[in-house]
Amino acid sequence: MTLDLFAQPAGKEIIAPGACLLRGLALARESAIWQALQSVIAQAPLRHMQTPGGLTMSVAMSNCGPLGWVSDRQGYRYQALDPLSQQPWPAMPAEFMALAQQAAILAGFADFTPDACLINQYAVGAKLSLHQDKDERDQSHPIVSVSLGLPATFQFGGLQRSDKLLRTELQHGDVVVWGGPSRLRYHGILPLKSGTFSYMGTYRYNLTFRRAS
């Protein structure tokens, strides 16, 4: 037993150097975040993107902010226009920005101003295989990941795909932040389990904030 555990603010779990889990941080802004999310996906519908290999991702995705992450047969990239509409992605809601910046500060990353928010919708069975977030120009900025709706098992590994994985259940309102020496850690989400419900419906939503450019 160590005193370090008690040196952290309540609800903050250090999971690796530069990485932490802020349990329930989004709950205080739940209503505003949920409303803003509905508005964004009404303007830029969730869609199943293709991988460069031509397969369809099980997670439905959209974006808000100046840049959006897209995948198709040409590869992964950030772009200013929604390929479905050829219009800019919806603006980043102020409530999204405030939550992302609060989480980054609590995690020890000052001056985080995301220019991209990837929205992932997981139905039962949807998953995201182990991967690294490495499409961003400047990897000195952290990743801020907000969980809403149904719970899911998060895998958090090392800098090599074969490294041992931490597995933890992410609940509605939890926020994970990773940056610095953990910025390129592999991570993923196991297939969403059935049998659970929330007032947000039978989905898990994930908001992933990045500084892409």
Partner DNA sequence: CAGTGGCC
Partner DNA sequence: TCGC
Residues that bind DNA (CB under 7 A): 51-59, 69, 71, 76, 127-135, 155, 161-165, 167, 188, 190
- The minimum distance between CB 49 and DNA, in angstroms, equals 9
Radius of gyration of the chain measured on its C-alpha atoms: 16
* Closer residue to DNA in complex, CB, 131/137: 131
- Beta strand 75-79 with 68-72 is antiparallel
* Closer residue to DNA in complex, CB, 69/96: 69
* Closer residue to DNA in complex, CB, 102/177: 177
* Closer residue to DNA in complex, CB, 102/192: 192
Question: Is 21 in contact with 9 (CB distance < 8 Å)?
Answer: no
- The minimum distance between CB 152 and DNA, in angstroms, equals 13
Q: How far apart are the first and last CA of the chain?
A: 42
* Closer residue to DNA in complex, CB, 104/128: 128
- The minimum distance between CB 39 and DNA, in angstroms, equals 24
Exposed/middle/buried for residue 178 (C-beta within 10 Å: 0-12, 13-18, 19+): buried
- The minimum distance between CB 166 and DNA, in angstroms, equals 9
User: Residues of 111-146 as b/e, b for ≥16 C-beta within 10 angstroms?
Assistant: ebebbbbbbbbbeeebbbeeeebebbeebebbbbbb
- The minimum distance between CB 131 and DNA, in angstroms, equals 3
